[in-house]
Amino acid sequence: MLPFIASLIFLGGTTKVAPAPLDPLSALEINAARDAIRRSGQFSDSVLYPYVGLAEPPKGAELSRARWARVHLYEPATNLTTVVVLNLATGALVSRTPVAGGQPNIMYRDTNIASEVVRRDPIWQAAMRKRGFTRFDDFHLEIWAPGYIPNVENRRMVRVLTFLGENSPNQNARPIEGVVALVDVNAGKVVSVSDTGVRPVPPEIGEFPTPTRASRRAAESDDIAIDGYSVRWDRWTLRIGFDARTGVTLHKIAFDGRSIVYRASLSEMSVPYGDPDENWSWRSAFDASEYGLGICTTPLEIGSDVPDDTRCLDVSVALENGMARRIERGIGVYERDGGLLWRHNHGNTGITASRRGRELVVTSIPTIGNYDYQVSYVFRQDGSMAVETNLTGIMLAKGTARTAETGGHDSAATSHLVAPNVAAVNHQHFFNFRLDLDIDGATNNRFLQCDTVPVPSDSGNAFAMQEKRFATEGFADPNRATSRNWRIVNPGKPNRLGIPVGYTLLQGENAPPLTGPTSDARREAGFTEHAVWVTKFQPDQLYGAGDFPSQAENPTGLHHYVNGEPIDGEDLVVWYTLGITHIPRPEDWPVMPVHRASLNLIPTGFFNQNPVLK
């Protein structure tokens, strides 16, 4: 059975169904992009491909254009990055834009060069000798984007952390605390080695069981209909996309054919560490733009990461030489029990009417070095949806002389003992989600902030909800005193009660940034300053910290995008920053039980009544 005969095309001897406009780039397309770049003759033979992704077609005109790719090209000889957009059908270059500042994401080349020069470096070797090590091959060297360093615009810098046990079952359990090397990758040189003093190396190897179980494909759920990357389940329809930088993207999310979200994705992450030591204070990782949530996506383990009946999709990303690399089982789609949907016990008859709910989950798990992040989109039968983040993996720790807490943590309690001679550092995880909502058939939406306050009168226990309409782009923060939430409505479409149809953004756990107000972490990741941002839709604004935040002299992103543009009745985009403060516990070691945090979008007047009475 061939459902799409008309769109069959013939590629390199194999018959393939032509991709739909918002599908992820296929391996064939990634390789075709590379061929087009090479044929153009405009770049050197040693040019690198830190990012290859879909240049999405214009909103509302998805079928009007051939598939385009967006490619970041990095020339090591000149340290120049160029963003190229090219037409995959013709191979023609559509645009070519040099990047003024900032660095593309970390590549294998950075890791290879940096670990090689550090291993050979006499100062690093002396630091290891000082700690009693005479052989230099059993160290795991971990490469980090460097954080902000003034006056290095023309150099690609990385920092290198050292751990004992290259082949250990837990490469992050035994940090060589005190030693961090700074490397200029293109010069192939160690610029400096910072040694803040010898601390004990944790004695325990921090082993945990691995592997969990063999991956296998089991019987798949019949209730989920997947055609290519298009998904239908219960009354929901959506399209799955995938991006090397941000991981899973979802498109055209609708319920009963009524549009809710045009596009949803993670846009950026920032993970600042709160230790004052000079070897720690720079640590603030942009996991999307510096490492790539798609590039770091790992195959799902059936039966443990996801249930046995999960439908899995393979995805492809580019290697730095531009060739496609396939990630098997990169995305999972499954149904799970959704708990109680609604219930009432009738007092007059004693009879209970109740319904059990089901949920659809679209999930993937990037592993960024020591941390694993499961990002899931959840769809419920009552028309609500959620973004869930599960945080697990191994905490970033330091060796310490402390073996037991003696009247407090360290002097300033910026780290906490999690095992003998192992202290894990306070840190935060900030996820920024970009949600382009188009409520019920219209891009012209309205953004309301809803605060509930006491009615100042002699009316007893009265309290009232007050709506504030956002006329222009802006930002907002939670307010416990008013049970604040936010609503996005279609002002041109009332329900049967005259209320404009809409969705409420209902937050859960959320922490503000806790690094100092003038800290580098906050200057670089401006999106962490507020929980909610609203901007007018701009096709080139996709990332909360801007296009190239790494090493950027002048960080951009949401604090620049919010610029006074009118948004009322316009096509607007909501950005949500979810902050988690992680104060390490012994139970988080050696591998951390999942910490869950989420954001909900619930229908508010979108339906005329409870939509699941059947």
Structure tokens at 458: 């002699």
199: CB partners within 8 A, 6+ apart: 177, 178, 398, 399, 400, 401
Contact 212, 167 (CB under 8 A): no
- Element spanning 493, H or E: strand 485-494
Assess whether 287 carries a catalytic annotation: yes
Q: Please, which residue, 269 or 317, has the CB nearer to Cu ion?
A: 269
Q: How many CA atoms lie within 13 A of 3 on its CB side?
A: 4
Give percent helix, percent strand, percent coil of the chain, each to the nearest 5. Answer: 10, 45, 45
Contact 113, 562 (CB under 8 A): no
Subset of 492-551 contacting Cu ion (CB under 5 A): none
Give me the least distance between CB of 478 and Cu ion, in Å please.
21
Give me the least distance between CB of 134 and Cu ion, in Å please.
35
- Element spanning 425, H or E: strand 422-425
Give me the least distance between CB of 429 and Cu ion, in Å please.
6
Complete DSSP assignment for 134-190: ---SSEEEEEE-----TT-TTS-EEEEEEEE-TT-S-TTSSEEEEEEEEEETTTTEE
Single-letter amino acid, residue 157: M
Give me the least distance between CB of 73 and Cu ion, in Å please.
34
| Nearest-angstrom CA–CA distance, 289 and 81 | 14
96: CB partners within 8 A, 6+ apart: 42, 82, 83, 84, 85
526 φ/ψ angles, rounded to the nearest 5 degrees: -60, -25
| β partners of residue 393 | 371, 592
Subset of 430-459 contacting Cu ion (CB under 5 A): none
Q: Which stretch, 53-61, 158-166, 407-415, 577-585, contacts Cu ion (CB under 5 A)? A: 577-585
Of 434, 340, 427, the C-alpha closest to 56 is 434
Give me the least distance between CB of 50 and Cu ion, in Å please.
26
Q: Among 239, 245, 493, 582, which residue sits at the site for Cu ion (rule: CB under 5 A)?
A: 582
Q: Please, which residue, 239 or 582, has the CB nearer to Cu ion?
A: 582
Give me the least distance between CB of 582 and Cu ion, in Å please.
3
Taking residue 298's Cβ as centre, other Cβ atoms within 10 Å add up to 15
The residue with its CB nearest to Cu ion is 582
Q: Please, which residue, 242 or 430, has the CB nearer to Cu ion?
A: 430
Single-letter amino acid, residue 22: L
Give me the least distance between CB of 552 and Cu ion, in Å please.
24
Assess whether 371 carries a catalytic annotation: yes
Q: Does 416 bind Cu ion (CB under 5 A)?
A: no
| Nearest-angstrom CA–CA distance, 568 and 491 | 9
Q: Please, which residue, 87 or 392, has the CB nearer to Cu ion?
A: 392
- Give the number of residues in contact with Cu ion, rule: CB under 5 A: 1
Q: Please, which residue, 290 or 335, has the CB nearer to Cu ion?
A: 290
Q: What distances in angstroms separate CA 148 from CA 103, 196, 371, 520, 530, one per listed residue? A: 11, 20, 22, 7, 21
Site string for Cu ion, 14-33 (x = CB under 5 A): --------------------
Q: Please, which residue, 503 or 589, has the CB nearer to Cu ion?
A: 589
Single-letter amino acid, residue 340: L
Q: Please, which residue, 559 or 582, has the CB nearer to Cu ion?
A: 582
Q: Which stretch, 106-114, 237-245, 362-370, 582-590, contacts Cu ion (CB under 5 A)? A: 582-590
Give me the least distance between CB of 371 and Cu ion, in Å please.
7
Which member of 184, 195, 287, 547 is catalytic?
287
Query: Which residue is listed with tokens 């999307």?
Result: 288
Q: Please, which residue, 321 or 519, has the CB nearer to Cu ion?
A: 519
Give me the least distance between CB of 331 and Cu ion, in Å please.
24
- Element spanning 561, H or E: helix 558-561
| Nearest-angstrom CA–CA distance, 264 and 408 | 43
Subset of 127-166 contacting Cu ion (CB under 5 A): none
Q: Which stretch, 310-318, 361-369, 511-519, 575-583, contacts Cu ion (CB under 5 A)? A: 575-583
Q: Please, which residue, 254 or 266, has the CB nearer to Cu ion?
A: 266
| Nearest-angstrom CA–CA distance, 206 and 418 | 11
- Element spanning 19, H or E: none
| Nearest-angstrom CA–CA distance, 149 and 78 | 19
Q: Please, which residue, 329 or 582, has the CB nearer to Cu ion?
A: 582
Subset of 234-253 contacting Cu ion (CB under 5 A): none
Q: Which stretch, 107-115, 245-253, 473-481, 578-586, contacts Cu ion (CB under 5 A)? A: 578-586
Which member of 51, 273, 371, 377 is catalytic?
371
Give me the least distance between CB of 119 and Cu ion, in Å please.
29
Structure tokens at 534: 């609203």
Of 294, 335, 298, 333, the C-alpha closest to 312 is 333
Of 399, 397, 398, 394, the C-alpha closest to 370 is 394
Contact residues for Cu ion, defined by CB under 5 A: 582
Query: Catalytic positions, please?
Result: 287, 371
